[in-house]
Amino acid sequence: MWTPANNLEQERLDKLNDLRNRQIEPYPNRVQRTHTTAEAIRAFEAAESASAGDSEPVNVTVAGRIVRQNLKGKVYFAHIEDGEGRVQLFVRIDNVGEDTYEIVKQNLDLGDFVQASGPMMRTRAGEVSVLVHELVVLAKALSPLPVIKERVLPDGTVERYGAFSDVEERYRQRYADLAVNPDTREVFRKRARTVAALRHFLDGEGFLEVETPILQPIYGGAAARPFITHHNQLHQDLFLRISFELYLKRLLVGMYDAVYEIGRDFRNEGVSFKHNPEFTQLEYYQAYTDYHGMMDLTERMVAYVAEQVTGSTTIEYEGHTIDLAPPWRRITLREAIRERTGIDYVEHTDAKSLAAAMRGAGFNPPEGATWGRLVDTLLGDAVEPHLIQPTFILDYPRDISPFAKLVPGDPTHVERFEMFIGGMEMGNAFTELNDPLDQEARFHEMAQLYRADEDEATPIDEDYLRAMRYGMPPCGGCGIGVDRLVMLLTNKSTIREVLLFPHLRERGQGAETSSAH
C-alpha cells in the first residue's frame, strides 16, 4: 500500500478520502467531453464573429488538468489544459451551488483532472472562459507535480520555468516533464511529424515500407557490439539487431525495387550526447542506383522533412543557421582530412606510418588500430566537429566498409558516403556490394582483421551470402539516425531531449559514461 512521502501528499490523500466520504468517486469511469479546450475557444470566437449582437450561447463540456487556480471568496478561477491547449474556468457559487463550491474550495489541487460544463463567455478582462454550471472530478492527483512558475514576456507570450532543478530527473520522470512543460510536448510532436514526413517522402518515391526481425540469429550490417538474449524453447542465443541492412538487401534479391524500414536498433555501447543503447534508424535501399543516387535522394528527403516539420529548409541549431536546401557540399574523405590536418593519409600506406604522422600532427592515435580505423579517427577528431552545413564525405577505406563496392581503379577505397550536419554524423550509405564472392572474401578478411575487437567483428552470414548468390541487383542504400535528425529540427544538443524514455544509470551509480565515438 502506498504511503505518502510528505505532508503535501498526506493532505491530498485526505482530500481524496473526503471525496469518497461525500459519495463522490474521484476516478469515475466515464467522461462526457464535447469539446477540446481549443475547439471550445474556436466555437465561441466563431459565434462572436458571426453575430452582430447577442449570439446563442455556446455550451461545452471540457476536461483537463488544473494548471492554475485562484479562489476569491465566492468566485474560483482555474486554467485547465488538455492535449490541445488551455482554457479558463469561471466558477461562481451561484451557478454550481454550495455543495459543489465546497468541493472546489476544499478538495481541488493543481494537477487534478476535472470536467466542466457550461456556456462559453468572455470575462471583463477579455479572456474567453467557461462559465461553469457543473464540475466533476475526473482524477485526483496524489503527488504534486514539480512547481512551475510563469512570467509574461514583452511580446505577450507566457514563459514557464523552474520545473526541475535536476535535469536528469526530467528524463527519469518524463511523464511529469511532459505534464508541466509544453515545450517538451512540442518536441515529441515534432518527432512524430518527422517520422511521418520521412514515410510520406519515401512512399511518394515508390519505396515499400517493410518490417524485418529484431531478434536475429546472426547480427550484422554495422560495426557494433550487440545485446545477446536467449530463446528458452529453441535453446538458441539470439541478438538484438544492430542494423536492418542485410535483411533489407535480401528483399532486393526478392524483386522489390525499393524498400525502407523505420525502427529500433540496439547497440551495446557507451552513451553520449548523440548515443543511446537503443535508437531509431531509417534505412532505405533502392535497386539500379548507386551512392550518387542515394546522395540526390537523401538531400531532397531531408530538405522536405525540414520544411514539413519547421516550415523552412533553414534551421537554427546550436547557434548556427543551417541551410538544408539541395545541393549539399560533396568532398572526398581524403580531401577533407588533408584540409583540416595537413595529413594525406594515402601517402601513409600502413597503420604504423599513419600513426606516426598523426602523432607528429598532435593527435593521439589508438593503440593497435588498423589503417582504416586510424583514418576514421582523423575524421571524427579533426573534421566532423567542423561540418556544420550539410556535407557528404565520400570514398572511405575498404577495411572499414565491408558492404560497399570499390572505387573503380582504387583497391583501397570504396563508394561510401557519410552525411554530416551540425557537427554530427547523420547517416551512412554505400554503392552496395552485390558480388557474392567478393562479399564472402570481405567477411573472412574482416574476421581476421578485427578478430580481437568485439566492436568491429563482422560475423559471416551464410544465409545472406546464399541470397546474394541468387543474384542481387546493383543498388544503393543509406541509413539515417532519426533521433539525431530530430535533434537538429528541434535544436536540442543531446539525444536525451528527443527520446521519451532515454536509458539512464540506476540512481547512485555515478555519472554516465560517454561513448568513445
Q: Which of 443, 418, 415, 419 is nearest to 431 (CA)?
A: 415
> E strands within 191-313?
208-209, 215-216, 228-231, 236-240, 258-266, 278-287
Quote the cell numbers at residue 430: 554505400
* Phi, psi torsion values for 74, nearest 5 degrees: -100, 15
What is the DSSP code string of 333-390?
HHHHHHHHHS--GGG--SHHHHHHHHHHTT--PPTT--HHHHHHHHIIIIIGGG--S-
Instruction: Judge contact between 429 and 478, C-beta under 8 A.
Output: yes
* Phi, psi torsion values for 333, nearest 5 degrees: -60, -40
Quote the cell numbers at residue 402: 565491408
Give the CA count within 13 Å in the CB-facing half-sphere of 478: 25
Instruction: Report how far apart, in Å, the C-alpha atoms of 441 and of each of 145, 332, 406, 446, 495 are.
Output: 59, 26, 13, 9, 37
What is the DSSP code string of 371-384?
HHHHHHHHIIIIIG
Neighbours of 8 (CB within 10 A): 13
Instruction: Judge contact between 62 and 118, C-beta under 8 A.
Output: no
pLDDT at 292: 98
Q: Which residues contact 131 (CB under 8 A, 6 or more apart)?
A: 90, 92, 95, 118, 119, 120, 121
What is the pairing mode between strands 208-209 and 314-317? unpaired
Q: What is the pLDDT of residues 408-455, one digit of tens each?
A: 999 999 999 999 999 999 999 999 999 999 999 999 988 887 665 655
Q: What is the pLDDT of residues 123-151, one digit of tens each?
A: 999 999 999 999 999 999 999 998 766 66
Report the C-alpha gap between 347 and 17 in whole angstroms.
79
Give the CA count within 13 Å in the CB-facing half-sphere of 9: 9
What is the pairing mode between strands 86-92 and 128-132? parallel
Instruction: Judge contact between 137 and 15, C-beta under 8 A.
Output: no
Report the C-alpha gap between 106 and 367 in whole angstroms.
69
Q: Which domains are delineated in the chain? A: 7-144 (2.40.50.140), 184-328+389-498 (3.30.930.10)
Instruction: Judge contact between 105 and 118, C-beta under 8 A.
Output: no
What is the tally of helices (H) and strands (E) in the chain?
15, 22
- DSSP secondary structure code for residue 17 in this structure: H
pLDDT at 453: 60
* CA 448 to the chain's CA centroid: 36
Note down pLDDT in tens along the chain; length 517 residues: 899 999 999 999 999 999 999 999 999 999 999 999 999 999 999 998 887 666 789 999 999 999 999 999 899 999 999 999 999 999 999 999 999 999 999 999 999 999 999 999 999 999 999 999 999 999 999 999 987 666 677 877 766 555 677 788 889 999 999 998 889 999 999 999 999 999 999 999 999 999 999 999 999 888 889 999 999 999 999 999 999 999 999 999 999 999 999 999 999 987 888 889 999 999 999 999 999 999 999 999 999 999 999 999 999 999 999 999 999 999 999 999 999 999 999 999 999 999 999 999 999 999 989 999 999 999 999 999 999 999 999 999 998 999 999 999 999 999 999 999 999 999 999 999 999 999 999 999 888 876 656 555 668 999 999 999 999 999 999 999 999 999 999 999 999 999 999 998 887 665 444 333 3
Amino acid at 515: S
Q: Which of 486, 515, 476 is nearest to 245 (CA)?
A: 476
